[in-house]
Amino acid sequence: RVRPAIEFRDVCLAFDDKVVLDHLSFTVRRGETKLILGRSGGGKSTMIRLILGLLKPDAGRIIVDGEDITDYSEVQMQTVRQKIGMVFQEGALFDSLSVYDNVAYRLHEKRIDEETVEREVRRMLNFVDLDDAIDKMPIELSGGMRRRVGIARALIGDPQIILFDEPTAGLDPPTARTICELAIKLRDLQDVSSIFVTHDMDNVEYLSSEYATVGEDGNVIFEKEGEKLCLINTEVIMLREGLIHFSGSDEQLRADKDEYIQTFIHGKLP
């Protein structure tokens, strides 16, 4: 059996008297995207910090790429983090470094030779369609470009797990769609496993209904789910008060008559 990329087993976490995660269990399979929904403060970003080992659960186990990381030390976690790419909400670029040096940061830390570094940086910038931005400074970039550079940086080292924490927040719809397309390319063309935290139902619909293929000319084509393909590698989890309130497909989510789900979908959170 292929081991999951990420697994939470009965994970509990509380801050003082506030329960953030209450016996949370779920699995992210190889090549699967898990879309995490829920209101602010509902534990979505906390899950990411737990996967990165920045927080420890009060109970339960967390497994990343077959390793039980629950009790790992900071030194042990550094090795685990090499397998994970992290995409932050604002891109989180170093303002004093060029695009090249931002993307190359992880490789420079490892003292990789510069010829290899440049080759890898150019490959990742090509993936996010920002070849021409290599010498620019972050201040010269639009919000969407900063996010794409952040994704390129996360992809250095070809991690097979990517964590997206609200990567489209504050972006206009066309730019947000570009970010979603990059996540789709990673899922369908690179077989990357990911967690995609969002509150935007447009993101959920797009990520759940589009898939990427490579045409005869070598260009990436985005097609809608239909007769050719049923997307089984994208699932939605909705958190509510530390519990999984819903788990299933986008289609099942929208058809659910649950009052909390319907108010969330239509933009009025209770």
The CATH code of the domain that includes 45 is 3.40.50.300
Residues 28, 121, single domain; the answer is no
| pTM for the full predicted model | 0.88
pLDDT in tens, 185-209: 899 888 999 999 998 899 999 898 8
Examine residue 106 and state whether it is found in any structural domain, yes or no. yes
Residues 168, 52, single domain; the answer is yes
Examine residue 270 and state whether it is found in any structural domain, yes or no. no
Residues 142, 245, single domain; the answer is no
Domain boundary pick from 143, 158, 173:
158
Alpha carbons within 13 angstroms on the beta-carbon side of residue 225 total 16
Mean pLDDT of 79-90: 87
pLDDT band, residue 161 (cuts 50/70/90): very high
Residue 163 has pLDDT above 50, yes or no: yes
Domain boundary pick from 122, 139, 158:
158
Residues 166, 154, single domain; the answer is no
Overall domain count for the chain: 2
Residues 255, 130, single domain; the answer is no
pLDDT band, residue 158 (cuts 50/70/90): confident
Q: Long-range contact list for 43-46, CB < 8 A, 24+ apart?
A: 43/13, 43/239, 43/242, 44/165, 44/197, 44/239, 45/165, 45/166, 45/197, 46/13, 46/20, 46/21
